[in-house]
Amino acid sequence: MNNRTRDIPVSIPDNPVRLLDQFRAWLRTNHYRYQTERTYVHWVITYIRYHGRRHPREMSAPEIQALLTYLAAQRHCSPATQKIALNALNCFYRKFLKIDFPALNFRQSRKYRRPPVVFTDEEARSIIEQLTDPFKLMAELMYGSGLRVSEALRLRIKDIDFGQGQLIVREGKGNKDRVTVLFSQLYDRLKIQIDLATSYYKQDRENGVGPAWMPYALARKYSGEGSQLGWQFIFPSREPARDPQTGIIRRHHHHPDTIRRQIKNAAQEAGIVKLCGPHTFRHSFATRLLENGYDIRTVQELLGHSDVSTTERYLHVMNRGGLGVISPLDRG
């Protein structure tokens, strides 16, 4: 699959015969996000391969337990990864195949509480200065608006509201929309980027390139809207690519791996040795807001966290030191 179209669902037959294609069709019928589909299918494949390619109907709780224990004992996976694997197999067996199994007894992964890596404001700005547009603008949106890398890349022209000074994140994590702040000093460069996206749009219309990709529900609800300017990605890829689902040639957005490489190289150029990536800008956005006295519920809403405890972890990295403690030596 072309890297530019990895988040477009792969094509499956109308009446799939293969079990995994049937599972994909079931997930889509039940409105699971494509990212969830990819993850669940990955773990089902991992499960089948781990047990020598035996058919899933020939296996049950002992085999599930064996894989989950292997992930903890041999792979040293995090509790989150082990839980995702369990959720995938639970969905596959109990919901899709309608096969129940008894309570599982497996080795739990050890939970390591690691505080999020956060840039100082100086570090964030030094990395951003090493970048050039459009990657510089992407990084500034992640730092200035608290966006995930996927949310920045999926921004469409209609999602920017210059009049209200805000942008709308569509179908973020948990399939939720949210509104967040838009840094006013980005307006001019955002408009330049939108002009570039508009020029690509006009060029594609002249060359018969297909409409912008839209998720299933939106494609059904707003049939034909993918051909309208407002639905075009703000950060379009340089070249159109074939949609693996429909075969239509269309222009997608930049691939997330591209911005990850750009930020990694920029951090090295800036002399930043922290283990960091695009998501570090989002961590830093949250920490700056809390340092500036914003209410944690406000920060939670801007980040789109469903549980405030997820937002509270940033309290442990703000101010000075891990707990905001001032060292005795700093008192002179």
Q: Residue 279 catalytic? A: yes
State the number of CA atoms in the 13 A half-sphere of 285 facing the CB: 26
H-helix segments, the chain:
19-29, 34-50, 61-73, 79-90, 121-130, 135-145, 149-153, 187-207, 216-221, 256-269, 278-291, 296-303, 308-312
Dihedral angle of Cα 263, 266, 272, 278, to the nearest 10 degrees: -10
Catalytic residue (choose from 38, 242, 264, 279): 279
Catalytic residue (choose from 154, 250, 252, 305): 305
Q: Residue 110 catalytic? A: no
Residue 162, beta-bridge partner list:
none
Please state the φ and ψ torsions of residue 132, each to the nearest 5 degrees.
-120, 155
Mapping DSSP to helix (H, G, I), strand (E, B) and coil, where does residue 90 land? helix
Catalytic residue (choose from 314, 316, 320, 331): 314
Catalytic residue (choose from 33, 173, 242, 313): 173
Rounded Cα–Cα distance for residues 37 and 26 (Å): 10
Q: What length is written for the chain? A: 332
Please choose, from the candidates 229, 150, 226, the residue with its C-alpha nearest in 3D space to the C-alpha of residue 195. 229
- The answer to whether residues 173 and 179 touch, using CB atoms and an 8 Å cutoff, is no
Q: Residue 148 catalytic? A: yes
Q: Residue 253 catalytic? A: no
Catalytic residue (choose from 24, 282, 283, 288): 282
Q: Residue 305 catalytic? A: yes
Rounded Cα–Cα distance for residues 149 and 167 (Å): 15
Residue type, 290: L
Rounded Cα–Cα distance for residues 281 and 267 (Å): 12
Q: Residue 42 catalytic? A: no
Rounded Cα–Cα distance for residues 218 and 223 (Å): 8
Catalytic residue (choose from 4, 148, 154, 283): 148
Rounded Cα–Cα distance for residues 325 and 241 (Å): 52
Mapping DSSP to helix (H, G, I), strand (E, B) and coil, where does residue 327 land? coil
Q: What residues are labeled active site?
A: 148, 173, 279, 282, 305, 314
